[in-house]
Chain A
Amino acid sequence: MSLTDTVPLHASSQSDIDEIENLINASVHSGPATVLPARPPSPPRAQIPPVWDTVKRDLSRIVSNLKLVVFPNPYREDPGKALRDWDLWGPFFFIVFLGLTLSWSASVKKSEVFAVAFAVLAAGAVILTLNVLLLGGQIIFFQSLSLLGYCLFPLDVGAVICLLKDNVILKVIVVCVTLAWSSWAAYPFMSSAVNPRRKALALYPVFLMYVSVGFLIIAID
């Protein structure tokens, strides 16, 4: 008997083999639907999160950035460290709000006042950043815009107070206080970005911009 001849099988093993064959045939014919899925279930269809969630997330980021930049925190681990999670919504909101407040307080030429305020603030932030870059400082452009915008928050508060109370002396005091606060907030970031021999060159324009905005707040009645 040669090896190619099939060896007759025992009856029970033959029936086992038949059973297995039947199962295989059945599964092949019935298609993959009945096959238990060895792969993970298909991912659920992506849900678009509600708008409120997105807005809430942005708002919380604005608030946390604001706390980092503007509020006194003696435990700040590195005052010169730039914002990690910068965004431009906060600055945009503060600039527009300041322009609106000034425009509201003005009794004449309201739209011109808004235009000048907005242009000065927006162009001012860009020019201040360019100034630091030209002096050989190392900053990231949009991060700096973001920081300068957040530092406007005290001036916003001052503008609202001046809108509500129209006393010149009070205005001068409020503006001086908020101006000092804004400059204090912007100081560590700006001064650490440039060579120490050029620190004053980078800081003076920041101070100038805040003083001119403060002056606008006082003068508009």
Chain B
Amino acid sequence: MMAGKYTHLDNQKVSGSVDSVPAVTDSGEVAIKFADSNLETFPPSQARGKISGGSRPPRDADDTFSKTSLGSDEAQPGGWFRSFTVDAYKPYFDVDTSDVLDRIKESLFPFKGSFTEKTASNPDLYGPFWICTTLIFVAAAIGTFVTYVAHELKNQEWNYDINLVTWSAGVFYGYVTIVPLGLYVILKYFSAPSGLVQLFCLYGYSLFVFIPALCLSVVPLEIFRWVIAGVAGFMSATFVALNLRAHIMSAGERWFFIVAAIFLLQVALSVVLKLYLFTVTV
């Protein structure tokens, strides 16, 4: 009863030095009012510096695998410096294991010609780089093994030739770097520009077929080796040519020459490999 007597606790007023939570008022709202008390308050000012907006959990080596990198929050270093950061190349490695395996399988079927469409949106540099590196190792290993066996069969002195490694490194890395670059320039000249990374991707995956070819060439039959080299070269060259043909046709009348040149280059690579690695002079 709101008689105004002091002994009644009025619902509107909260009196006393104790924080009190009044019961539900007549209006149905719950009003929580903290009277000024003598308690000290600790404002979070000291911690403000540590809590960033959106408080992310701390990152360490075995934390989440999220794609957002820390670099996305910082200001990017300007202009051409960016090409020296790791982040500039991350988009080209945005592939999963299944994607890479898929693309490798594509490269083994050269007559489909669908490789460029599949990789147009997401060309990767992982495949080309590691296929080349694997090829270097396989070429050096197989080449060494072949000469070793040949020398052993004739009971001759044999020494490991370390130059095989360096030579094959030069050939493969050079081929995958320079030929697509040259093609890129030529296509620009003929006003049918293609993405440079797409070309790297295409050439890199086209070399995959040489890995099984080299492994098979261990068989010491000369004819067999030539057949293998020919088939591998043909498959690889067709892969590249067919995938580029649709694009190069827009370059004008000279397109056939360009495609033929690409084809022949790849076959030449295969022949060079066969000759250098498997010509054993005992």
Contact = CB atoms under 8 A, between A and B. Distances in A.
Interface of A: 78, 80-82, 106-109, 112-113, 116, 130-131, 133-140, 143, 192-201, 204-205, 208, 211-212, 215, 219-221
Interface string B92-112: 111111101000000000000
B69 to A, nearest CB: 8
B61 A194 contact: no
A220 to B, nearest CB: 6
Contacts of B162: 109, 112-113, 116
A116 B144 CA distance: 16
B155 to A, nearest CB: 15
Given A81-B61, A82-B61, A201-B126, A108 B159 contact: yes
B65 A195 contact: yes
B62 A81 contact: yes
22 contacts: A116-B162, A131-B93, A134-B89, A134-B93, A135-B126, A136-B65, A136-B90, A137-B65, A138-B61, A138-B62, A138-B64, A140-B61, A195-B96, A197-B96, A197-B97, A198-B95, A199-B97, A201-B95, A205-B133, A208-B130, A208-B134, A219-B148
B141 interface: yes
Q: Is the interface of A mostly helix, strand, loop or mixed?
A: helix
Interface of B: 59-65, 67, 69, 86, 89-90, 92-98, 100, 126, 130, 133-134, 137, 140-141, 144, 148, 159-160, 162-163, 165-166
Please name the 7 residue pairs, one residue from A and one from B, whose CB atoms are nearest each other, closest first.
A195-B65, A134-B93, A197-B96, A82-B61, A200-B97, A212-B137, A219-B160
Contacts, number: 85
B160 A220 contact: yes
A199 B100 CA distance: 12
A220 B141 CA distance: 12
Contacts of A143: 61
Nearest to B65: A195
Nearest to A82: B61
Contacts of B141: 212, 215
From B64, B97, B141, B165, residue with most partner A Cβ within 10 Å = B97
Nearest to B157: A107
Contact of B96 (A138, A198, A220): A198
A78 B166 CA distance: 40
Contacts of A140: 61
Given A134-B86, A136-B90, A219-B160, 16 more contacts: A80-B62, A113-B162, A116-B165, A116-B166, A131-B93, A135-B93, A136-B65, A138-B60, A138-B64, A198-B95, A208-B133, A211-B137, A212-B137, A212-B140, A220-B160, A221-B160
A195 B69 CA distance: 13
Nearest to B127: A201
B137 A107 contact: no
From B61, B130, B134, residue with most partner A Cβ within 10 Å = B61
A138 B126 CA distance: 17
Contact of A136 (B67, B100, B160): B67
Nearest to A212: B137
B59 A138 contact: yes
Contacts of B159: 107-108, 221
A129 to B, nearest CB: 10
Contacts of A134: 86, 89-90, 92-93, 126
Nearest to A78: B62
B167 to A, nearest CB: 12
From B63, B64, B130, residue with most partner A Cβ within 10 Å = B130
Contacts of B69: 136
B61 A201 contact: no
